[in-house]
Chains A and B, each alone.
Chain A
């Protein structure tokens, strides 16, 4: 590809992961990491942005260790972070079921599920820590589902062939987050954490190339203030809302990581987006978000569409012979339980063939009639009752009688700021945890692994690795006033600009339009032509935004339009990088499907010879081609193979 969309820079490498047998690397790293003297910990201030599973658990644990923590969230309470909405469960290689699970198998499944675009060292550590997470959460009082004997229940989830998923009905994320939140509040009470809810990070403060603080806006009174410390941790989640419609919360945004990116942190694999196959389809233009139905539904529900295109009979009137249970047909071994990307693309394909159901033909059936026959309605109710109720509330249809309609929606972003084995970004002192980093999921995340990663990073990895940085950077000194003033003035300038335009289009209208572009050209299936088109449309839209956006109100009180405007402004830049990344990666892998790279059956075709690397992008200025730094991936333990779920 001869292109001016980007330029190639020096390769980049993770220098922190020790060499040697993979099962010894994490212990080795913990041992080699320098320690901060207990008496000195009190003098170290760590700034944590975000209070989800990663941020909440990190804040609590760092405070328990003795560091002074200053923590921020844009919501009115740390308990509202979007981790709370995770439904299905959390994986751990406990092998309580004696079904052949092990740390190595979880590691293997995660590397393979991620389509060989993740680091082996990181993934192995994740699998290793997974068991400790369950212990920790149980000790905190997380009410996981239990069996009659009083022991923890497990289920198989999202394509795994072992039962390693721990869950708390359909609200696992909620229960885990409340556990972390309570641990955090305990530290607030102890005076170890200074908590600032309704504060949004808008800029990173840097001194001598190191991250030393953040500029935040108090969302209640508009006050711009800088907080400084010895290190900064970003735990601000993913950027799925770049698509406007996604399963993310309305407030979920990329602002913190994007502004850190613009200050020098590399952004890795931005195009790796996970599309979740089981969401409630769009009902109209007013739609503000999409609601996920837990993937666990695929354990008992059967996915189908009519055999004939344009068949608009009521689903219950379509005889068995005229239904196409396409997942069971194409993937006999895994059936309805194929990984998310495969299930999503298959749904898109049948809808493209005109066989989709519901308004606009963008939906497929998820049918529980057989499950109800087999298990009885009470058993189905016990297992999925709350999900069925939610479906009925939103759609007004009773899923016990009429098959549910589902359609894929953007759910999770595997990409994020590039971090090394210590979870440190390319800016020294800036650590990135949870979904905000490019993480351990490669090109596709397995079900029930996001909660695992968030908590692994927050409870166990970061608290160990950050000490090494703090111990080796012992004499950082005061943050000079000029550095603070410079960062604050940048924030102020943007706010003033947004308020002064006074155009004729709302922020939401731009966001919606951006979402359409991204979903159309950078969604489930990407083509060179489409991406090139998007790369023309996005800068044009951005230019229009800065000319025509209308942000009412003032900067000195609660102004939700202003908050949104800042976030959308960042999405308008990030979207471009996502398209560039998607365009440059001419292979298909995991959540990134390039129509040009598929086999005869329409399956994703990886190109290991050319793309077995992490694409880490460097910001060079607005509208300037970014610089690509490649981190080569080596596979010593799990040899890359083409995924096959047939």
Chain B
């Protein structure tokens, strides 16, 4: 889970940085989107890099979900009888919401791809016009879409907060001396990432981008 998670996290960082291009105007982000399709050329054919990346991401995602499902099933088996009285969480909420958070994120990713990659559920999708698609998507009257995006991104934040710490521990890379630093670093990373993602719909909503 740690390794596949790490691949997904790297992608999230790149995606977030790309998103920020929106603040430099329609030309820059649209040009960036077009460039993505040319990475690796002329060695690679047009869009090949993109497709390789998509395959890697999809494989990571599937593995990640499969392992999560296995762990969940194992946890269910390990405790066939439930407690009648459940206490409040002692560890962290982020840790206890991994599973439901993961499901929400997965649903979101499906919607997100249909929305801004294929345009299937987008009201006025135009291939290649990233800027325009964004502006239309987060238009103020479509506040529910924006809200869904915000919730999903916050869920990603929680998921990552625990995921990062847990991954580092699963890989045996932490130590008692570094534990505090690890927690702080994970929190800081998550805050920056979430802020970066949220800045786009926020900017559209308040009219900075339209």
Q: Let me know if chains A and B touch directly in the complex, using CB atoms closer than 8 Å.
A: no
Give B residues with C-beta under 8 Å from A: none
